[in-house]
Amino acid sequence: MHDIKFIRENPEKFKQGLDAKRAKFDLEGVLKIDRERRELIIKIDELRAKQNAANDEITALIKSKQDPKEKIAAMKGIAAEIGRLDPGLKAHEQQISDLLLGVPNIPHASVPVGGPDLNQVVRTWGEPRKFDFKPKTHIELAESLDIIDFKRATKITGSNFILFKKDGARLERALFNFMLDLHTREHGYTEVFPPILVNRASMTGTGQLPKMEEDMYRLKDEDLFLIPTAEVPVTNIHRDDMLEEASLPVYYTAYTPCFRREAGSYGKDTRGLIRVHEFDKVELVKFVRPETSYDELEKLVGNAEKVFQLLGLPYRVLLLASGDLSFAAAKCYDIEIFAAGVDKWLECSSCSNFEDFQARRANIRFKGKDGKKPAFVHTLNGSGVALARAVVAILENYQTKEGDVIIPEVLRPYMGGKERITR
């Protein structure tokens, strides 16, 4: 959420930021409501000052045994006028709040302005594997190795859901255990295991509501939502909290299943693991001081990259252009891994700095040292990492001519020492 004071004082900068995100917003309309709101505040403050003065006069009259009736009548008239104006002030404030909840964050100055075609590859790691045979897709490998049953998953739930089995289920479990151990032991994150159902306030705090409600899974009889990412419950751990500056930065990591209604229609990508409605993910969330947040973003990306490096999966890091940023992000890096069977780069991690956008919505502040005024924290989050596509890359990049899959060395302790997935 945006600070109306910032919008009022920087209307052109704000408009440019929204234009860069290709967002439509009635800037003049909200500034008009803000002007009316401030005029009401001035009027009410002046009336309250008169009310306080009249109260003092009444007290003085009573002490001097003079008749205060005239002043009491005047004070009642002032109170009535305040009562008449106050609902209008509250209505203006609510109107501004409702309008701003639907407005996206504006991009950081370092973000390229434009659409996805202006996304920049900032670095790469590893080389895509060259095969001396035609590599299979993860769908072919999963079916031949009998480790994922797509047909029964569709029978149980519907299309774009997954039934892992045997070594497929064990590989999934190995991956999120490996990642949680990495992030807690080497990167300094505290592990949490949050609810996967959250309330409307939580979804609003991180920016999924009200804009993207149709893309979310919502319970019919209760105003609760299945989480699209652990970012939602983990960020809301500190909703309405006042943190101590000395406690920052705060790092959390969490494994959760994630649920998204929008799988898209992308031809053959709607089969297999590339686009699914439910997937597992390990999330990284940070609460930091504003002046450190962009250094913390670079560290966050590095934490996600370490996962792919240890798994031996070639990847590239993209700086997203303004038109490709999410609703809440001010700056975002995507990490794409190469999958040999489908011969594609697959986005497997997004790492974003939201600055104080989420913190304002969720009222997450920190108490400054030496009597400094409380300020909003900056929040960041990143996939550390998303598992469905990581499984795609492991199966396709580590396949053998015989149709087996070599298990990455770092995962073998989590797979009982096993070195290969075989039929």
Please indicate, yes or no, whether residues 346 and 372 belong to a single structural domain of this protein.
yes
Please indicate, yes or no, whether residues 87 and 128 belong to a single structural domain of this protein.
no
Over residues 260-319, the pLDDT tens digits come to: 997 444 444 567 999 999 999 999 999 999 999 999 999 999 999 999 999 999 999 999
Please indicate, yes or no, whether residues 205 and 85 belong to a single structural domain of this protein.
no
Q: Is residue 289 part of a domain?
A: yes
Please indicate, yes or no, whether residues 58 and 128 belong to a single structural domain of this protein.
no
350 is catalytic: yes
* Cα–Cα distance for residue pair 420/398, rounded to 1 Å: 9
275 is catalytic: yes
* Cα–Cα distance for residue pair 403/272, rounded to 1 Å: 18
Q: Which residues of the chain have pLDDT under 50?
A: 263-268
Q: How remote is the C-alpha of 314 from its chain's centroid? A: 26
Please indicate, yes or no, whether residues 159 and 228 belong to a single structural domain of this protein.
yes
Q: Is residue 110 part of a domain?
A: no
Please indicate, yes or no, whether residues 67 and 95 belong to a single structural domain of this protein.
yes
Please indicate, yes or no, whether residues 40 and 159 belong to a single structural domain of this protein.
no
Q: Which of 49, 69, 101 is the last residue of a domain?
A: 101
Q: Where are the beta strands (DSSP E) in 260-355?
A: 278-288, 315-319, 331-339, 344-353
Q: Is residue 109 part of a domain?
A: no
**DSSP letter, residue 218:** B
Residue 224: Cβ-neighbour burial (10 angstroms; 0-12, 13-18, 19+):
middle
- Tell me which of 361, 365, 389, 396 is the catalytic residue: 389
Please indicate, yes or no, whether residues 40 and 189 belong to a single structural domain of this protein.
no
Per residue in 230-266, is it b (16+ CB within 10 Å) or e — as a string?
Answer: bbbbbbbbbbeeebeeeebbbbbbbbbebbbeebeee
CB neighbours of 72 closer than 8 A, spacing ≥ 6? 58
CB neighbours of 79 closer than 8 A, spacing ≥ 6? 51
Q: Is residue 383 part of a domain?
A: yes
Picking from 95, 364, 14, 317, the residue whose alpha carbon sits closest to that of residue 205 is 364
284 and 381 in contact (C-beta within 8 Å)? yes
| Residue 31 phi, psi (nearest 5) | -65, -35
- Tell me which of 57, 81, 245, 347 is the catalytic residue: 347
Q: Is the dihedral of CA 81, 82, 87, 89 positive or negative?
A: positive
Residue whose pair of structure tokens reads 């989050």 in the numeric block: 381
Q: Which of 45, 71, 101 is the last residue of a domain?
A: 101
Q: Is residue 212 part of a domain?
A: yes
Q: Is the dihedral of CA 416, 421, 174, 165 positive or negative?
A: negative
- Tell me which of 37, 170, 260, 361 is the catalytic residue: 260
Q: Is residue 329 part of a domain?
A: yes
260 is catalytic: yes
- Tell me which of 350, 352, 365, 396 is the catalytic residue: 350
Report residue 1 as tokens: 């959420």
Please indicate, yes or no, whether residues 167 and 52 belong to a single structural domain of this protein.
no
Domain containing residue 221: 116-421
Q: Is residue 52 part of a domain?
A: yes
Report residue 108 as tokens: 């950081």
* Cα–Cα distance for residue pair 343/345, rounded to 1 Å: 7
Structurally, the chain folds into a number of domains equal to: 2
CB neighbours of 309 closer than 8 A, spacing ≥ 6? 125, 126
389 is catalytic: yes
- Tell me which of 275, 293, 322, 383 is the catalytic residue: 275
Report residue 362 as tokens: 């969720």
Please indicate, yes or no, whether residues 30 and 138 belong to a single structural domain of this protein.
no
Q: Is residue 378 part of a domain?
A: yes
CB neighbours of 60 closer than 8 A, spacing ≥ 6? none
Q: What CATH number did the domain enclosing 91 receive?
A: 1.10.287.40
Q: What CATH number did the domain enclosing 281 receive?
A: 3.30.930.10
285 and 380 in contact (C-beta within 8 Å)? yes
Please indicate, yes or no, whether residues 79 and 143 belong to a single structural domain of this protein.
no
What three-state secondary structure class fits 368? coil
Please indicate, yes or no, whether residues 334 and 290 belong to a single structural domain of this protein.
yes
Q: Which of 36, 71, 101 is the last residue of a domain?
A: 101
